[in-house]
């Protein structure tokens, strides 16, 4: 059973370009979370999605950032017009449907390290 998959693992963009980060949850998991980690910091929650629904986006910057989790395919975190301050590691986590596990144990992917030049 493959774990959470993220790609690309490393992404380099110039200021003003767009970054697309992909996350495939573990098989059977229907909840996806995106977190951002700045250097020497802990992870900060960005957004929580279920299939075709954004449940909680309270951690998302109001502009340039968007996320989706379509019925088919991976979850996408999209950053438009990237700036140097967007350079960070972006982690995706998934968890099983509510009712199958009441612990909210989240399984993390290896992350995408975004560098903005």
Partner 1 sequence: SQQGEEDPQALSIQEGENATMNCSYKTSINNLQWYRQNSGRGLVHLILIRSNEREKHSGRLRVTLDTSKKSSSLLITASRAADTASYFCATDQAGTALIFGKGTTLSVSS
Contact footprint for partner 1 (CB under 8 A): 33, 35, 40-45, 48, 55-56, 58-59, 91, 93, 98, 103-111, 113
Which helix (H) or strand (E) is 52 found in, with range?
none
Task: State in angstroms the smallest separation of the CB of 45 from partner 1.
Answer: 4
Continuous H helices in 5-54:
none
CB burial of 40-76 (b: ≥16 within 10 Å; e: otherwise) equals eeebeebbbbeeeeeeebeebeeeebebbbeeeebbb
Nearer Cβ to partner 1 (25/109): 109
Looking at residue 98, what DSSP letter applies?
T
Task: State in angstroms the smallest separation of the CB of 115 from partner 1.
Answer: 13
Task: State in angstroms the smallest separation of the CB of 41 from partner 1.
Answer: 6
Which three-class secondary structure state does DSSP give residue 68? strand
Task: State in angstroms the smallest separation of the CB of 8 from partner 1.
Answer: 14
Nearer Cβ to partner 1 (83/98): 98
Nearer Cβ to partner 1 (58/72): 58
Nearer Cβ to partner 1 (17/107): 107
Residue with tokens 């495939």, as numbered in its chain: 24
């Amino acid at each position: 059973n493959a774990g959470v998959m993220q790609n690309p693992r490393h992404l380099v963009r110039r200021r003003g370009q767009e970054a697309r980060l992909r996350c495939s949850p573990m098989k059977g998991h229907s909840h996806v979370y995106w977190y951002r980690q700045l250097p020497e910091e802990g992870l900060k929650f960005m957004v929580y999605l279920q299939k075709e629904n954004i449940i909680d986006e309270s951690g998302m910057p109001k502009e340039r950032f968007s996320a989706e989790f379509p019925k088919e395919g991976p979850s996408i975190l999209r950053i438009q017009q990237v700036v140097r301050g967007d350079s960070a590691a972006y982690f995706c986590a998934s968890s099983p449907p509510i009712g199958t596990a009441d612990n909210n144990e989240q399984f993390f992917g290896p992350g995408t390290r975004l560098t903005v030049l």
